[in-house]
Amino acid sequence: DADVTQTPRNRITKTGKRIMLECSQTKGHDRMYWYRQDPGLGLQLIYYSFDVKDINKGEISDGYSVSRQAQAKFSLSLESAIPNQTALYFCATSDLQGGVNEQFFGPGTRLTVL
Amino acid sequence: SQQGEEDPQALSIQEGENATMNCSYKTSINNLQWYRQNSGRGLVHLILIRSNEREKHSGRLRVTLDTSKKSSSLLITASRAADTASYFCATDAFFSGNTGKLIFGQGTTLQVKP
């Protein structure tokens, strides 16, 4: 969905490096999410935010941190990258319109940690 | 932990045939959603069924929900090669009215042969 963008799209880094993945949205949604997908698996929730002042841990937050700089921006950081953080990372947004949490996904960032 | 378990993990059919995918879940839900993912790309919302609904249609898609069995199925009729993708169910679990998180299954990979 072009309304949700992620940068970079691909990144190769080395163990121990700090990495930041960025997500921007023009949908005007309050809620933003970061997911991780490993090959052949579903999505696991890392962190989520319901508004600028709200940050919540997901299922697999260890080794990650986030920052909600504005309603439109939600960044994910790997403080010290390790090889098992190699994965596809997705950002998503929602607005709970009609009481429904339909989520809109960005194109993903493919991260490789050597 | 994964709420949704999908079956089969992989499905290969000929163009024109119907494809059926199943999803089972564990906790009470507000709604269940199906998403599609083309290889390496972000997920796209297909259809949602609320907990008080039993069946829903959208074009060639038909979704059923059986809350007593905690299961759902997605039927794609008259499949096309372009339907080749991974399909994920996602449950919007009920947490005291806070529908903040979706929990995704591991997905079914569908291949439609021309």
Chain B residue numbers touching A101 (CB-CB < 8 A):
31, 92, 99-102
Mapping DSSP to helix (H, G, I), strand (E, B) and coil, where does residue B82 land? helix
Give the Cα separation of B77 and A113 in Å (integer): 41
Q: What is the pLDDT of residue B93?
A: 74
**Mean pLDDT, rounded, for A83-96:** 94
Give the Cα separation of A17 and A26 in Å (integer): 30
SS3 per residue for chain A: CCCEEEECCEEEECCCCCEEEEEEECCCCCEEEEEEECCCCCEEEEEEEEECCEEEECCCCCCEEEEEEECCEEEEEECCCCHHHCEEEEEEEECCHHHCCCCEECCCEEEEEC
The number of C-alpha atoms within 13 Å of A11 and in the hemisphere containing its C-beta is 25
Of A58, A100, A107, the CB nearest to B42: A107
pLDDT in tens, A3-39: 999 999 999 999 999 999 999 999 999 999 999 999 8
Comparing alpha-carbon positions, the chain B residue that sits nearest to A5 is: B42
Q: Do B42 and A31 touch (CB under 8 A)?
A: no
Comparing alpha-carbon positions, the chain B residue that sits nearest to A97 is: B99
- pLDDT tens for chain B, 114 residues: list them: 445 688 899 999 999 999 999 999 988 888 999 999 998 888 999 999 999 999 999 999 999 999 999 999 999 999 999 999 999 999 987 654 455 678 899 999 999 999
| Contact between A6 and A104 (Cβ < 8 Å) | no
Chain B positions contacting chain A at CB under 8 Å are: 1-2, 4, 30-31, 33, 40-45, 48, 88, 90, 92, 99-107
Q: What is the pLDDT of residue B95?
A: 59
Give the Cα separation of B10 and B27 in Å (integer): 25
| Contact between B57 and B48 (Cβ < 8 Å) | no
Q: What is the pLDDT of residue B27?
A: 85
| pLDDT averaged over every residue in chain A | 93
